[in-house]
Amino acid sequence: MHIREAKNPFRLGGQTALITGGGTGLGLGMARCLAQAGARVVLVGRREDKLAGAAAAIGPLASFVANDINKLDHAVELVHAAEKAAGAPITVLINNAGTHLKQTALETTPEELQAMLTTHVCAAHALVRAVLPGMLERRQGNILFTTSMASIIGVPLVLAYSAAKSALVGMVRSLAAEVSCSGVRVNAIAPGWIETDMTSQALQGDPARLNKILARTPMGRLGAIEDVGHAAVYLCSPAAKFVTGIILPVDGGASIGF
């Protein structure tokens, strides 16, 4: 067989991905890249106008479902709606939706911490419970989480966010150890500082912080959403068929920088 005839292990034809927070930022970057690799993508978020515009821009492989993932008891209903929109079972779940909170530990209230944990951790768990039975029955599936550099290094003023993202790291490892023997792989991407609206909000009015970030990032710049998107394609593709339970930094070297 000639090399040119070999099947591309990075192609995602036949896969259907549910992506939370898929209408903007990192979720949109992942959705674009997965669709380019041949996957159907279902964008999930609260703002229907954003979702509709993003799905239209991606093309015929994209659909969307407007939903608030904080309504934990609606997770099964959301998955059913996503499968109806795509016309196929969900084979890839990307738990990406999240919020950011920049303030001191003393200013952070118990209610704010709980809200952060609900969005990032509890909602992700609810969706895992909703998609996992089908994946286990088919003995095939991919579950991907978006964590953060804040789960790897100490970042000031983001205690609640860091706690939530760090909890996802434990979830990834435990879930991978539990279900990988049944054909379901579980991984995470830990983005560094990527050019998104959330990053802009976190750095707004704080040029010293931006300079500090760039100084400790060996590549000396912020990343693009497609950098995270291409990493997601790899982790969900046959090319990564022996990869599970990892946290993949996409950070320009920030986690190893000085």
Q: For residue range 137-172, list pLDDT tens digits in order.
A: 999 999 999 999 999 999 889 999 999 999 999 999
Cβ contact 17:241 at 8 Å: no
8: which residues sit within 8 A by CB, 6+ positions away? Answer: none
Q: Output the pLDDT for position 3.
A: 56
Q: Output the pLDDT for position 1.
A: 45
Residue at token pair 């290094």: 153
Which DSSP symbol is given to 119?
I
30 burial level (CB within 10 Å; 0-12, 13-18, 19+): buried
- For the whole model, what pTM was predicted? 0.94
Buried (b) or exposed (e) across 112-145, using 16+ Cβ within 10 A? ebebbebbbbbbbbbbbebbbeebeeeeebbbbb
The pair of structure tokens assigned to 152 is 């790897």
Rounded CA-CA distance 103/162 in Å is 12
Q: For residue range 178-201, list pLDDT tens digits in order.
A: 999 999 999 999 999 999 887 887
Q: Which domains does the chain have, with CATH numbers?
A: 3-249 (3.40.50.720)
Among the listed residues 60, 1, 8, 34, the one whose alpha carbon sits nearest the alpha carbon of residue 189? 34
Residue at token pair 């593709």: 237
38 bridge partner residues? none
234 carries an active-site annotation:
no
Angle at 198 between CA 195 and CA 203, to 5 degrees: 75
| Residues shown for the chain | 258
Which DSSP symbol is given to 239?
G
Q: Output the pLDDT for position 45.
A: 97
Per-residue confidence of the chain (258 residues) as pLDDT tens digits?
455 667 899 999 999 999 999 999 999 999 999 999 999 999 999 999 999 999 999 999 999 999 999 999 999 999 999 999 999 999 999 999 999 898 999 999 999 999 999 999 999 999 999 999 999 999 999 999 999 999 999 988 999 999 999 999 999 999 999 999 999 999 999 999 999 887 887 788 888 988 988 999 999 999 999 999 999 999 999 999 999 999 999 999 999 987
Rounded CA-CA distance 187/175 in Å is 9
Amino acid identity for residue 125 in this structure: H
Question: Annotated catalytic residue: which of 161, 168, 175, 236?
Answer: 161
